[in-house]
Amino acid sequence: MAQDPILSAAQTDALALTQFLTEPAGTTNRNSVGVDIGTLSDIAGTLAPAFGTTAEMLADTVPRPVGSLIHTASPRASYKVVDAALPAHLTTAGGTGLVHLEGAYVIAIAGQSNAAGVHVDGPNPASPLVRSWDAPAGAWGGSDRTAAPWTHSNPDGNGGASNYALARAHAVAATTGRPVFIVFDALGGAPIADWVAEAPADTRFQALDAKITAALADPMLQQHGVGGIDEMIFAQGEADYLSGFGAHLDSLVTLMAKIRGRSWAAPGMPCFMMSPADVHDRYLWRAAMRHFCGRIDTDCRFVALNDLETEYSTTGQGDASHFLGTGVWRAGYDYIAQTARVESGTELFWGRGVGPASPAEPTVLATFSSLVSADSWTATAPPNGPAAAGSISWGKACFADGNYTFALGYGCVTDNLSNYGILAGRDLSSNGAADYFAGFGFQNDMAARYTLAAGRGHVLMAEGGTAIGLFSEYTGAEADAPLLQVGNGSSSSNRGNAFCVRQSGTVETKGIPVHADNAAALMAGLPVGSWFHQGDGILRVVI
């Protein structure tokens, strides 16, 4: 009986599939149309080998052909086998040289003692993926901090202490599988002038630049096309604790302009600026660093480290400025990666000797010299207002335009040429002739130096003049200047004085009653002690 051709083809393909799954590589395995489909082992032999971890890959003893790929699962990474004549980033136990497909990752670190690292506690994993530039040797060393270059003294090492860049490099290597290269230059006690001064005084900047240039020229990086650094870590400022906010801010602007002007700094290269220990919260250089990162160069990231331990914070004595090694490791391994590119403000108020003020502070110190309340702005888009030095415009439509003047209340204005005075009340003013003045109440005008007004409706034109009460009488220049007026007027058109003392010493008293004698004065109801006269201009006292 003839075989069914369709059934025969199905049977042939079923047999070919079975052989595809079970037969060794090299087995001839034809399907129903005569095509040799090979075996699964044939295909597996063409795939890149995969290892579970970097350690397993480095333990591989099988020679691998140049140009082939090797993969790891944890971290997920791919490496290319390079010719033995080229420097390899990694070398397996079988002598296979490897480079990561994404290339090397380069970190530079600079600063003073916290950038170097001081304490030796903390992890020391010494990963083969991490290498460090040994400047004295002019070659790459490893990441074991009990060996060179870390055992060198500052600025080429740190005596084997924990370090931000070492921790950061191990974090990058562990998460990406990329080889990480560190360039280190840090010197305890170095002021920022060592980076930002004009050459040749910028000794630390020149040293850092020279180290980075030499490291990038080494075949380990140069022959694999690495031409710049991927990120920078900067930890400095404690030496400049007396620096003002503006001065240190200017220094940071200069620093980053110099760094970003170098060919090895790619556009947008992040620079992680490490905050100091809590003891330095009281100093303005920290606020300047935070402001710089949040408002001026947001590719610089301020890394907050307030929870890291120091010797003092853990024991109550000893070193309060340098973080312990475990904290340094935590900062480099975790905190840098967690720091986002953000826009932030700066502290406007400080506590006495404790840094930025909290609601618990009984006394706060302002970082500004003049203040304008919202209802006294002169414009809102953009915000604007009086710009006098050391002045306060507070209330509604108040304008302290004179230096060191206060305009408080409603509609109080000091002239731009009127200095060292205070107006508090409503519709008070001082003109350009007024200095060293004080006005209180309603509708008082200060128009001369050394003047004082309290009450309503006074106009002081005499230097050294004082007026109290209501609508005092003299509002213009007088040959014999009124120095003291007690006003008893009722309006600006009905002025009067109950009492006035002039420059000459003349005393004016108006409205003193006339009586024939003391008895008549008592009969008229004048109280004992009050004044009267008998029409002769001679003052008498009721007794």
Tell me the pLDDT of the chain averaged across its residues: 92
pLDDT at 25 over 90: no
Residues contacting residue 357 through CB under 8 Å, at least 6 positions apart: 347, 349, 350, 351, 364, 365
DSSP codes of every residue in 286-319: HHHHHHIIIII-TTEEEE--TT--BHHHHHSSS-
Mean pLDDT over 191-219 rounds to 98
- The two three-digit tokens of residue 18, written as one number: 């079975």
Pairing of strands 437-442, 97-100: unpaired
Question: CB pairs under 8 A, 24+ apart, for 55-58?
Answer: 57/90, 57/92, 57/98, 58/90, 58/91, 58/92, 58/93, 58/128
Three-class secondary structure assignment of 402-440: CCCEEEEEECCEECCCCCCEEEEEECCEECCCCCCEEEE
Q: Please say whether the beta carbons of 162 and 119 come within 8 A.
A: yes
In this structure, of 105-114, 274-283, 529-538, the range with the lowest mean pLDDT score is 529-538
Instruction: Give the closest residue to 157 by CA, choosing from 201, 166, 234, 222.
Output: 166
Q: CA dist 381 to 343, 384, 385, 392, Å? A: 21, 8, 11, 21
What does the pLDDT read at residue 6?
A: 52
Number of neighbours of residue 71 by Cβ within 10 angstroms: 16
pLDDT band, very low/low/confident/very high, at 360 (cuts 50, 70, 90): confident
CA-based end-to-end distance of the chain: 161
pLDDT at 3 over 60: no
Instruction: Give the closest residue to 108 by CA, choosing from 189, 199, 210, 178.
Output: 210
In this structure, of 10-19, 206-215, 307-316, 491-500, the range with the lowest mean pLDDT score is 10-19
pLDDT band, very low/low/confident/very high, at 32 (cuts 50, 70, 90): confident
What does the pLDDT read at residue 493?
A: 96
Residue 50 Rama label (left phi>0; alpha psi -120 to 50; beta): beta
Kindly report, residue by residue over 77-135, the tens digit of the pLDDT: 999 999 999 999 999 999 999 999 999 999 999 999 999 999 999 999 999 999 999 99
Residue linked to tokens 């230097």: 463
Rounded to an integer, what distance in angstroms lies between the CA atom of residue 385 and that of residue 377? 5
Determine the residue type at 227. Answer: G
- What are φ and ψ of residue 289, in 5° steps? -65, -45
Mean pLDDT over 160-179 rounds to 97
What does the pLDDT read at residue 19?
A: 81
- The two three-digit tokens of residue 451, written as one number: 């003047």
Rounded to an integer, what distance in angstroms lies between the CA atom of residue 118 and that of residue 326? 11
Cα dihedral angle (113, 116, 119, 120), rounded to 10 degrees?
-160
Q: Please say whether the beta carbons of 461 and 448 come within 8 A.
A: yes
Mean pLDDT over 199-221 rounds to 97
Domains of the chain plus CATH, in order, are 5-44 (no CATH), 50-100 (no CATH), 105-356 (3.40.50.1110), 512-543 (no CATH)
